[in-house]
Structure 1
């Protein structure tokens, strides 16, 4: 994974509450052709899942599991894009989300630790842990696309930005201050050029 400056990876509005939104934004091409992928390898994917409290600290992922998460991310991007543009999503993306919703292990198992007491977690082989994580993310996506916040799900309007966010107010157009500043600077430069060429 290429480590991007923190300002490029700043969380967008809604990503902290919605792991599906965070997952969709975990890879993108940034203005200037720079790319980042927070699921670049199995270790990166595990770190991303731990950072979002979706797996236990000692969980190890394999490439197959990372690939499944990346595939889910692509399907969610398709669904979010269709939602924000008013287009029809691909049947494959809808089916993939439904598969993720239904293939998870049936229950979080009860665990007991003398220090932390009772907890529930997916104590299954790695593949089943990833299926559980995918079900959690898919459920969040389905709830986001059909719930009260569906109307505020938006894609960033800055040229070249591919991130999604929840509008915090009706006039918000950009996922971050950085994108907004970039657009305003480009507009100011274009006006200045137009004045000098006139």
Structure 2
């Protein structure tokens, strides 16, 4: 299954399973864990023991996430955006500027890789030594690639009760980000229909 780092970043704000919303980047420890769990960022593998996350990097990740989620909200319009931050979205022009500025902080050059027995490929060679800059710039580039690519057309905001995720629609009839959200949405619809029917019955008596 294809992964999109920009979507992973947006999904660090998620339903906590108990009716609320949790933030994986709420603490330095949480941000460290999230980066390590990525395994592979556009800059290459994340070292098992690092890089060390400090408060500045955590705040940079949160600001980048705000920009990504604001642009995701623009993509899915006129459908409603994720309810997690619909009331406080970053202005679109600021979000675009933030992404472009963050991506430009890391000077990179494409490099051809062609093993003796294999097909040629490409990778980016970075001239930036600061791993914090590389992480933020790589995520910004990934967001630019996502928003400028064909998968943008399939981006949706999950409408299941309490869900705050964005997802990429993988087939024609997909309405929710995962099966459990579909089950919850269908149960909510069924409950609403039963209440409506009961109210109509009371009105006729």
Deviation readout 1:91-146 (Å, 9 max, x if unpaired): 110000001110025479xxxxxxxxxxx997976xx2122112221122111111
| Shift, 1:159, TM fit | 3.8
* Structure 2 unpaired stretches of 5+: 80-90, 111-123
CA contact (8 A) 1:156 1:175 kept: yes
- Which of 85, 92, 95 is equivalent to 1:93? 95
Q: Which runs of 4+ in 1 moved over 3 A?
A: 28-33, 105-108, 120-125
TM-score where L is the length of structure 1: 0.75
| Shift, 1:86, TM fit | 5.2
Aligned counterpart, 1:3: none
Within 5 Å, which residues of 2 pair with 1:85-164? 85=77, 90-104=92-106, 106=108, 128-164=130-166
2:66 counterpart of 1:80 = no
| Shift, 1:196, TM fit | 2.8
Cα distance between partner residues in 1 of 2:125 and 2:131: 9
| Shift, 1:161, TM fit | 2.2
Cα distance between partner residues in 1 of 2:62 and 2:11: 11
Task: Give the match's secondary structure for 2:26.
Answer: coil
Cα distance between partner residues in 1 of 2:17 and 2:49: 36
Cα distance between partner residues in 2 of 1:130 and 1:162: 28
Deviation readout 1:15-55 (Å, 9 max, x if unpaired): x6101101001013568651211112112111111110243
CA contact (8 A) 1:45 1:66 kept: yes
- Which of 42, 48, 65 is equivalent to 1:57? 48
Cα distance between partner residues in 1 of 2:20 and 2:153: 30
Cα distance between partner residues in 1 of 2:190 and 2:7: 31
Cα distance between partner residues in 2 of 1:104 and 1:86: 34
2:7 counterpart of 1:21 = yes
2:75 counterpart of 1:71 = no
Aligned counterpart, 2:85: none
| Shift, 1:182, TM fit | 0.9
Deviation readout 1:152-184 (Å, 9 max, x if unpaired): 111112244221111011221111112111110
Cα distance between partner residues in 1 of 2:127 and 2:149: 30
Aligned counterpart, 1:183: 185
